[in-house]
Structure 1
């Protein structure tokens, strides 16, 4: 037994992480189908994995960004500006896709009257105000509450300040960054087990019975997300790189999208994206900032969710939508998506903002939010997979594009 164990561990190490995750996925589905009561008990395994990712992500972002800026060499390009352009373009394009799809394949909802006790923002101004307040948040509070906008602000400020410190201080900061990165890698090694627990417990508890009445709505939502992931994003990447984008697209979907699909949190997937960016050979000074920033503002999936569910309510109520209003909805959805939190269900709370464009009262808008939570088993998972994988995709596209323009 003792001789066989090292051999088994050695074989497991040779299996890629994606393959291990797929094995965990299949095992979770099988357990949920064969022994649902046992599968429900695996909830703790999934929660431990997601909680560990969420716990390490704020510290990782703070230390990594601070160390990257502190050790940044003068004249070294970080490519942050083109990445921001791609984030904004991708989010707006996703909203436009959702408007077109919802117009061609209109969905209707059965709006109920039960109350949903959820607090949603009151307007776009409130979303923007919240973002500004997040920037000046107390650093301890930002770390505790995973406020990545605040974490980035403090990390950038501290990094700039420490650039004027002695070499020893900057070396210690670099060593601290390496130490936190090592811990993250250890957590990611448990991804297959975590995915197994998440899949088994979710299927055993919720199943797909609650989704039957919303097949058409889900088809439009998931269809838009697939179109953006497989058509729109590749077009944007091709425009940036002028070469076949699909090898990079598939890599990001496979190695980032899968874990994001099951963790259902862009914030929790930040360590996975940072590790993938490193393996892709991207600039650390770039991805250490763009990945956590993308988890906050690069929300193509959220823009689709907000737009499709809002237009579903519009069609249900028989409200006419003209082209100028559709364009305005795309802009509002993109802005709202940038204000969506990086946690499960964050985009749903911003649906009332978009509904207000059509004079839909908050009571009805919150019923639409409730529908969003019902279909959240698939909607939120697909949304997060699109959001998070696109963070890496656009970061890689910007870095590789700038390298093509300025070869070493």
Structure 2
């Protein structure tokens, strides 16, 4: 048995995930009623979500209590990259929606509560920041987790070395547990794919083919054209090894989990592999899961403009650009869970006088195509978290005369 486990672990994780993907598709088509197989996916995502808040809390707290005054920080640049990436993705969606206008077949109204406006989104963010720290961990409220981890980390700078060593040991234990969970990814992916294929089928999206192509096309354009340009302007070398590495190691996993929050441990593992500073990525990665939402901005823009086209609402390009700015700000308040961006569509639709009832029907369309849309959206969002974190640090390395080499 041990030899089988060693042989299994010796195979590349990506190859094992691809094997799980293939088996999941086959089982979903052949034995769709054996629902117990889908439990593997629920267990995998549940384990990631359970450990991620604890990992973020203790890593950030330990990193800050160990931080030495005078050490450089690149958090400002990382946040700027997050915001620029989201804004450019939003512009891309607007241009694509004008070049390839879409319409939607509106289904029955979706049952969900949408935020009332930008003010409400910002208010919720601020309230989340000061929520009960234990409640923040339990609810996976990463804004609250980060804020309290920073506060406790700074407060513990004067603590004894023994206390800091305890925090380090807890952080190491959580990192090891996360690696064990990630090693089970092939079985988790098998379960997630099985559930998707067995419940939704492959032909369910035919009537929404055009809008799916526009959404996915925008996300691929941002991932392989816009983001590489941003990376190149910062590190002044071929960006594609880093882009491909992030998509391969982070994006593929996020595609199946459909949760930026669940993918936080995966991104932290990737940053560790890239040799990045834990003190920096332990903050930037969970922050990115909250505010770096290029995919969400694309979804909001494309579906909102599709609703306007369906209702024959005339939208000029200048107004559409205003929509892209609103979508970018709103996307930063998107929760890091599956389908989080869809509930911001009514806010965007309100710019064009589209009623909330109609807007919620558009949300219903989003849930129908969510298996594809949300998977690609999360893959773009989460892989960009690691990409821009690495970009900011590699920029500093180049300034210091260090070489940057990426192994795929």
Q: TM-score, normalised by structure 1?
A: 0.97
The equivalent of 1:208 in structure 2 is 202
2:250 is aligned with 1:256: yes
**SS of aligned partner of 2:195:** helix
Whole-angstrom CA distance in 1 between matches of 2:3 and 2:163: 43
2:129 is aligned with 1:135: yes
Question: Which among 56, 75, 81 is matched to residue 86 of structure 1?
Answer: 81
The equivalent of 2:41 in structure 1 is 46
Superposition deviation, residue 213 in structure 1:
0.6
Whole-angstrom CA distance in 1 between matches of 2:133 and 2:58: 12
Superposition deviation, residue 327 in structure 1:
1.6
Whole-angstrom CA distance in 2 between matches of 1:62 and 1:83: 20
2:32 is aligned with 1:36: yes
Deviates most, 182-191 or 302-311: 182-191
Whole-angstrom CA distance in 1 between matches of 2:354 and 2:50: 38
Whole-angstrom CA distance in 2 between matches of 1:323 and 1:23: 45
Superposition deviation, residue 10 in structure 1:
2.2
Deviates most, 27-36 or 137-146: 27-36
Give per-residue Cα distances to partners, 1:376-401, cap 9 Å, x unaligned: 01000010000000000000001001
| Regions of 4+ moved over 4 Å | none
**Equivalent pair of 1:222/1:379 in contact (CA under 8 Å):** yes
Give per-residue Cα distances to partners, 1:18-39, cap 9 Å, x unaligned: 111111111111111222223x
Whole-angstrom CA distance in 1 between matches of 2:99 and 2:59: 45
Within 5 A, what are the aligned runs for 1:111-260? 111-112=106-107, 114-260=108-254
**SS of aligned partner of 1:36:** coil
**Equivalent pair of 1:345/1:373 in contact (CA under 8 Å):** yes
Superposition deviation, residue 256 in structure 1:
0.4
Whole-angstrom CA distance in 2 between matches of 1:304 and 1:358: 17
The equivalent of 1:103 in structure 2 is 98
Give per-residue Cα distances to partners, 1:97-152, cap 9 Å, x unaligned: 0000000000011224x332210101111111111111111111111111000000
Superposition deviation, residue 63 in structure 1:
0.5
Superposition deviation, residue 209 in structure 1:
2.5
The equivalent of 2:405 in structure 1 is none
**SS of aligned partner of 1:342:** coil
Give per-residue Cα distances to partners, 1:339-383, cap 9 Å, x unaligned: 000000000000011101111110000000000000001000010
**Equivalent pair of 1:46/1:198 in contact (CA under 8 Å):** yes
**SS of aligned partner of 1:41:** helix
The equivalent of 1:63 in structure 2 is 58
5+ residue gaps, structure 2, are 403-408
**SS of aligned partner of 2:392:** helix
The equivalent of 1:18 in structure 2 is 14
Whole-angstrom CA distance in 1 between matches of 2:3 and 2:177: 25
**Equivalent pair of 1:78/1:285 in contact (CA under 8 Å):** no
Whole-angstrom CA distance in 2 between matches of 1:349 and 1:242: 38
Whole-angstrom CA distance in 2 between matches of 1:378 and 1:115: 20
Deviates most, 103-112 or 390-399: 103-112
2:314 is aligned with 1:287: no
2:357 is aligned with 1:363: yes
Deviates most, 218-227 or 17-26: 17-26
The equivalent of 1:341 in structure 2 is 335
Give per-residue Cα distances to partners, 1:14-72, cap 9 Å, x unaligned: 1111111111111111111222223x331111100000100000101001110011111
2:5 is aligned with 1:6: no
Cα RMSD after superposing both structures? 1.0
**Equivalent pair of 1:120/1:350 in contact (CA under 8 Å):** yes
5+ residue gaps, structure 1, are none
Superposition deviation, residue 189 in structure 1:
1.0
Superposition deviation, residue 76 in structure 1:
1.8
Superposition deviation, residue 6 in structure 1:
3.2
Question: Which among 369, 375, 379 is matched to residue 375 of structure 1?
Answer: 369
**Equivalent pair of 1:41/1:201 in contact (CA under 8 Å):** no
Question: Which among 271, 277, 293 is matched to residue 277 of structure 1?
Answer: 271
Give per-residue Cα distances to partners, 1:269-316, cap 9 Å, x unaligned: 000000000000011111000000000000000000000000000111
Q: TM-score, normalised by structure 2?
A: 0.97
Superposition deviation, residue 182 in structure 1:
1.0
**Equivalent pair of 1:45/1:193 in contact (CA under 8 Å):** yes
2:313 is aligned with 1:319: yes
**SS of aligned partner of 2:158:** coil
**Equivalent pair of 2:109/2:358 in contact (CA under 8 Å):** no
Whole-angstrom CA distance in 2 between matches of 1:78 and 1:14: 37
